[in-house]
Amino acid sequence: MDPTSNIDLILNQNSGGRPIIGCFPLYPPLELFSSMGLYPFVMWNLKSSIGDLTESDKHIQSYACAIARELVQYVLSGSFSNPDGIFFYNACDTLRNTPEILKSPGSASGSDMAMLQMHLPQVNRFQTNADDYLKNEIEELIIATEKAFNVKFDPCRFEQTVLQYSDLREYCQQAETKVAEGALSFESFAEVVMANYLLPPELQIEKLIDLIRQSKSGSFRKSPGVVVSGIMPPPGKVIRAIEASGLRIVSNDIAALKRSYAYNPKPTGDPGTYYTDLYNNRFPCTTLLYKSDQRLDMFLDLVETSEASGVIFCGEKYCEYEYFEFPHLEKRLKEKGVAILNMEFSIDDVDNIGAYITRIEAFAELLNS
Amino acid sequence: MAQSTKSRAGRHLSQIMTDGYMELHTRASQGAFCVWIAINVPAEIFAGFENVIYAVPESHSAMCAGKGIGAVMCEKAEKLGYSMDLCSYARIDIGNTTDNGKDSPTFGLPKPDLLVSNNNNCALLAKWFDVHHREWSVPHNVMDIPFCYTPQQEKDHRYIISQIKDLIKLIERLSGQEFDAERFNTAVHHSWRGLKEWKRFLHCARQCPSPITAFDSFVHMAPFLTLRGTPVMADHFKLLADEAEDKSATGQLPVPGEKFRLFWDNIAPWHQLRKMSKRLAELDANIVGASYTSCMGTVEGSFALYDWDEKDPFDYIARTMNAYMCPHGLELRHSSMKEAISELTIDGIIFASNRSCKPYSITQMDQQKRISEHLGIPATMIEVDHADVRKYSEANAFLRIEALLETIEAHRKN
């Protein structure tokens, strides 16, 4: 059974009565909420839980991405217990318009769900210093959270939580290294990391330690390496097909994976300093406009240092942030002799993967030849 | 109905737009520092410099679509690998750069020395300008304007002003020119005068039957984008308003048998202006207002002109960077539309669900429900792409529009 198939059960089993806060993707301040005694989880990877999109389709158009449609379905379907609160930030044009839909009068989500928000500065850091703005946003978020949930911020608890998340990111990186070596499958790695988004940090760490223990020892055949890029990892069946074709996923540039755990800020009890560091220095994502210049260099560097001979772009249908970049990245990679496979996943493609498998096999043949 | 012969304001528009593009190319060729901007970057800033010019790719793309060459230019971008799902303005612009504006009615745009985008109309503009930034190694400045669920907050206003001032320093550094605050102040006053005239023009639609259509406003908004901060723009809007008032006084009506007064929500369907206005007029329907053009010079939650005290131009341009619809959430948009429905005596609303503009379109389904259920105003949703005709079906659109008109009739009978 897919680990996210019963979200309510997982959240209720693990929250221990803490208020549950559903966070919009992509990069919410999880450490902050966690340290304040809340139970944050990121509302993505919901496909296997929500069934259909009937409720979402009444509110947002079918040309919104799967992440947004599934999120709306999850909150508005009435099939799940509502989180006690929702956190959102300016992650993308579609997601910024979604909170008011979730809170619309007469919606299943009701009116007593706390809505917490911040604006993540997207201005070029070389042009305007936005650190003070961001620090103020974090301060205001703390005040709003304290008020909404009758909790108190504590710098010591924050620092402890930050250390826990730091360990968590370290374990993610260790597991990723095992995948690159061929000692672990990317499929099991991605499955654990994605399922972890519903779990508290201590349990996430346990799952990752278990995963790392399962890795094989010894030396492995050095099959052609590929980097997988996108917002979400491709569907399990597609990852299986990539690995079965003899390709080794030597690194990833996935928003829900590496772009989330690659940078570990210096631990501190000051949330303003911590999040300024984290957001300013995190692995560049297509959605972080101020990271645009670094993104190109870091992506090319990632491909080079991982010695990948190919890149598989897993496009999230209708995610324009990603699609504006593909042609230029493709051009730059081709100049370096790196082969490209472009795949696109929309809402129903998880069930119809025959064509993907054929393309993956052809790509593997190309890289093996 | 679209008129076969241009009015005085129509002829004037053609002239000033042609002159504007000619001047743009001429000055660029003579070494002026050229900036490409997103539409709600306050262009008055550039007037503060002796020799800085600006071009607006969105406006140029709209013009290309209006001239019927949008799809051709989109295809050029698609051949480079840009997805058909991307904004058609962006595809037209990227396509245009592949052959230096070979098919463009304005011979394209002069190459930029600086790109300035912002993220409140849509963050994708930053991604779009990044395409040029990477391809041409031209600096790209992203202005970060916080999205509004409530009217603009003081902290955001301060943040925007700091970015405007930083942008000025950047231009000074890159162009080697000094910013003149007085020239800038004068430009802001020209815009302010022009916007007052624009509102006078739009207010003519309050008359039943209306002497203007929203299509007039779509066509005539262009100077606000490409000639912002100039007396030419202000004078044009005065001429336009005078002409509309004159038509009103003399009974020259675009839809003489106006039976249905409609409101349009989304970007103009540039490739359909003439066809759609003609066909609507044949149905005695007039789109008398549009959120797209009503929001110029306004701020969140109302289509009323933002009342400037004419003191601090920085304060004014930072405050009105939240004009347009996309920078606001559902509640604020609803508030503006509710006001327009009442002031313009609207019978029905056309929500144009626009695949090329998600920021404008997401929330429309809830908005439609609110308008219909809470205000009792019939509404329909049609599928449109603002600049890519390949994603528009006239038959489907009019099937829904005609059904809307029938619903309005039925409402009246009840």
> pTM of the full predicted structure?
0.96
B128 to A324: CB separation less than 8 angstroms, yes or no: yes
A101 to B361: CB separation less than 8 angstroms, yes or no: no
The CATH architecture of the domain made up of B11-182 is 3-Layer(aba) Sandwich (3.40)
Q: What integer is the mean pLDDT of B113-140?
A: 96
* Substitution target from B158, B322, B362 for chain A, most A beta carbons within 10 A: B362
The answer, yes or no, to whether residue A31 has pLDDT greater than 50, is yes
Give B358's contacts in chain A (Cβ within 8 Å).
61, 63-64, 93-94, 97, 318, 320
Give A128's contacts in chain B (Cβ within 8 Å).
144, 162-163, 166
**Residue written as token pair 């939650």:** B301
Of A93, A104, A123, the CB nearest to B366: A104
- Alpha-helical (H) ranges within B30-67 are 44-47, 57-66
Give A117's contacts in chain B (Cβ within 8 Å).
149
pLDDT confidence band for A1 (50 / 70 / 90): very low
pLDDT confidence band for A2 (50 / 70 / 90): very low
Residue-wise pLDDT for A230-277, tens only, equals 999 999 999 999 999 999 999 999 999 999 999 999 999 999 999 999
Q: How many CA atoms lie within 13 A of A20 on its CB side?
A: 24
The CATH architecture of the domain made up of B186-413 is 3-Layer(aba) Sandwich (3.40)
| Interchain CB contacts (distance < 8 Å): A and B | 141
Distance CA B36, CA B53 (A): 9
Residue-wise pLDDT for A146-167, tens only, equals 999 999 999 999 999 999 999 9
Residue-wise pLDDT for B308-344, tens only, equals 999 999 999 999 998 889 999 999 999 999 999 999 9
**Which chain A residue has its CA at the smallest distance from B164's CA?**
A128
Of A100, A119, A327, the CB nearest to B81: A327
Residue-wise pLDDT for B50-100, tens only, equals 999 999 999 999 999 999 999 999 999 999 999 999 999 999 999 999 999
- Per-residue b/e over A78-91, b at no fewer than 16 CB within 10 Å? eebebbbbbbbbbb
**Which chain A residue has its CA at the smallest distance from B122's CA?**
A93
Give B79's contacts in chain A (Cβ within 8 Å).
none
Give B95's contacts in chain A (Cβ within 8 Å).
none
Q: Is there a contact between A41 and A85 (Cβ–Cβ < 8 Å)?
A: no
Q: What integer is the mean pLDDT of B367-392?
A: 96
Q: What integer is the mean pLDDT of A18-24?
A: 97
Of B122, B155, B331, the CB nearest to A93: B122
pLDDT confidence band for A3 (50 / 70 / 90): very low
Give A320's contacts in chain B (Cβ within 8 Å).
85-87, 124, 127, 358
Shortest alpha-carbon distance between residue B253 and chain A (Å) = 37
pLDDT confidence band for A126 (50 / 70 / 90): confident
Asked whether this chain's domains B11-182 and B186-413 adopt the same fold, the reply is: yes
Give A99's contacts in chain B (Cβ within 8 Å).
149, 329
B363 to A97: CB separation less than 8 angstroms, yes or no: yes
Q: What integer is the mean pLDDT of A109-120?
A: 86
Distance CA B355, CA A94 (A): 12
Lowest mean pLDDT among A45-59, A346-360, B117-131: A346-360
ipTM over 0.90: yes
B147 to A325: CB separation less than 8 angstroms, yes or no: no
Radius of gyration from C-alpha coordinates of chain A: 20
Q: Amino acid identity of A133? A: Y
Sequence ranges of the domains in chain B: 11-182, 186-413
**ω into residue B209 within 30 of 0, thus cis?**
yes
Give B149's contacts in chain A (Cβ within 8 Å).
99-100, 117
* Substitution target from B98, B129, B144 for chain A, most A beta carbons within 10 A: B144
- Find all residues with CB under 8 Å of A67, minimum gap 6, and list them: A25, A44, A95, A231, A232, A316, A319
Question: Please, what is the average pLDDT of chain B?
Answer: 96
* Substitution target from A57, A60, A61 for chain B, most B beta carbons within 10 A: A61
Closest CA to A41 of A63, A66, A9: A9
pLDDT confidence band for A51 (50 / 70 / 90): confident
Distance CA B98, CA A327 (A): 14
Residue-wise pLDDT for A182-238, tens only, equals 999 999 999 999 999 999 999 999 999 999 999 988 776 678 999 999 999 999 999
The answer, yes or no, to whether residue A4 has pLDDT greater than 60, is no
pLDDT confidence band for A109 (50 / 70 / 90): low
The residue ranking higher by pLDDT, A49 or B24, is B24
* Substitution target from A62, A324, A335 for chain B, most B beta carbons within 10 A: A324
pLDDT at B102: 93
B147 to A324: CB separation less than 8 angstroms, yes or no: no
pLDDT at A167: 98
Distance CA B271, CA B386 (A): 7
